[in-house]
Amino acid sequence: MGTSKTTLVVAIYLVAVVCSTVLNDDMSNDANPTAAYLRPDNTADEDQNNEERGVNLNPLSGLTKLTANINSVVDTARLQIWLQLRTSADDVFRKMKLNSVKGNLLTDPKFLGWVKYVDDLNQKKPEAERISAAAVLTFHYMDDQLSTMLNAAMKNHKTKDLALTLQAQRLEDWRRRNTHPVDVLDLLSLEKNSILVNPVLTSWFKYLDEFNIRHPRQHATRASALSDGLGDSRFAKVLEEGLKADKTKAISKEMERELFAEWGTKKFTPDFIFGVVGLKNVIGYATGPILSDPVFKFWVRYMNEFNVKNPTKRATIFGTLTKNYGDEALVDMLVEAKKVVNTRTAAKSLESQLLLKWLHQKLHPGEVVRWMNADKSNEMLGTYTRLFSARYPKTTSQ
């Protein structure tokens, strides 16, 4: 305790010296104590009124600066004392009342001092006993809240680097605990729509690569792990959107190529993948204008690649749609798709195939009319009626 008391006395003396220096700097001007309160004659024009009244707000700003300097010195002195006592990082976090800070914690000067304290404390400990700043924060905020905090901090250029450092510490802590990469991705709570440009993704890729080395039997490609973590449908949307931007086009193509290759190796058919990416209609009704769905475009590219490699097992868009959607759902889908310029041509082609299927089945117009609720203009029904009359003239009157 003798050493602690001596250190405390030294710290108090240091505070007194600094306070005296700050007071002399802020409240003196050429050895004149009133100079800090009265402006000289060459003050800027906009301050003339205050000058004439002898009013100056500088003492308030000087006092604020003085208080901040005193607090800074006191905090530094306290941290040095705690460091000598090897006070735990968690206890210091509480003593500094950082757990009650509102807003962006990473911008608080005391927090920066605490982070340095944790680093200094760890240098005094064996590696096995070291605890990262991120681990202490996780204890106080839990992973979900901490991820939200750090993701927000990464959008601020003033706190981005510190946020990345803390994220790196989290990844290292998870590595020590051997946490699965997909679970780590979930804990990071990265914004899905912008994940391809998130700097943390590169660190996560490295984490995944190292995990694969340690656990070769659980090896997963980057694309498949991302797909598992985000969900197949969401990942397909992310890649489709990524192809539209210059910054993400390259990585989107790489991820898609990797994923398609893995699916191809596993002999996944287009029909199977149709369900995997969430396009399969399990309730029998159309879910919207599917032809404009980004995931549908993604699936079409896989189907085309599959057909090239498996010419005897070729799949078609129409065949897959009819297998997974009822006739009424298809009509609804095509009517909507014809209203959109980008899908109109494809919709008309699919409509022709649908009408041809009905003709082969010899379905009378009176039978198909029950599927035409969405065709308010009766355009599709009229076209089919003419085709049916031409193909089966003897049954038209039925």
**What mean pLDDT, rounded, does the chain reach?**
84
Residue 33: its pLDDT value, please? 38
**Residue 239 domain-assigned (yes or no):** no
Please, which pLDDT band fits residue 175 given cuts at 50, 70 and 90? very high
Tokens 């089966």 correspond to 392
Q: Is residue 45 part of a domain?
A: yes
Residue-range definition of the domain harbouring residue 39: 1-85
Tell me the whole-structure pTM to 2 decimals: 0.76
Residue 76 lies in a domain: yes
* Whether the predicted pLDDT of 281 surpasses 70: no
- Confidence label for 393 from pLDDT (cuts 50, 70 and 90): confident
* Higher-pLDDT residue of 196, 42: 196
In a domain, 62, yes or no: yes
Rounded average pLDDT over 243-269: 96
Of 99-108, 166-175, 238-247, 288-297, the one with minimum mean pLDDT is: 288-297
List the beta bridge partners of residue 29: 32
Residue 236 in any domain: the answer is no
For residue 68, being part of any structural domain is answered with yes
Residue 280's pLDDT is 81
pLDDT in tens, 325-384: 889 889 999 999 999 999 999 999 999 999 999 999 999 999 999 999 888 889 999 999
Note whether residue 6 is domain-resident.
yes
Residue 325 to residue 327: CA distance in whole angstroms? 7
DSSP for 257-281, written as a single string: HHHHHHHHHTT--HHHHHHHTT---
Contact 117, 89 (CB under 8 A): yes
Task: Give the helix ranges, DSSP H, for the chain.
Answer: 2-27, 48-53, 58-85, 89-95, 109-123, 133-153, 160-177, 181-188, 199-214, 222-230, 232-242, 246-265, 270-276, 294-309, 317-324, 327-337, 341-360, 365-368, 379-391
What are the pLDDT digits (tens) for 26-85?
343 344 433 333 334 444 444 444 444 444 444 444 434 544 444 566 678 889 999 999
What is residue 353's DSSP assignment? H
- Please report the pLDDT score of residue 53 as a whole number: 44
Question: Per the domain annotation, does 226 fall within a domain?
Answer: no
Q: Residues of the chain with pLDDT > 90: what percent?
A: 69
Rounded Cα distance between 163 and 166, Å, is: 5
pLDDT tens for 1-32 read 444 444 444 445 544 543 443 334 334 334 44
Output phi, psi for 362, to 5 deg.
Answer: 55, 40
Considering its fold, how many domains does the chain have in total?
A: 1
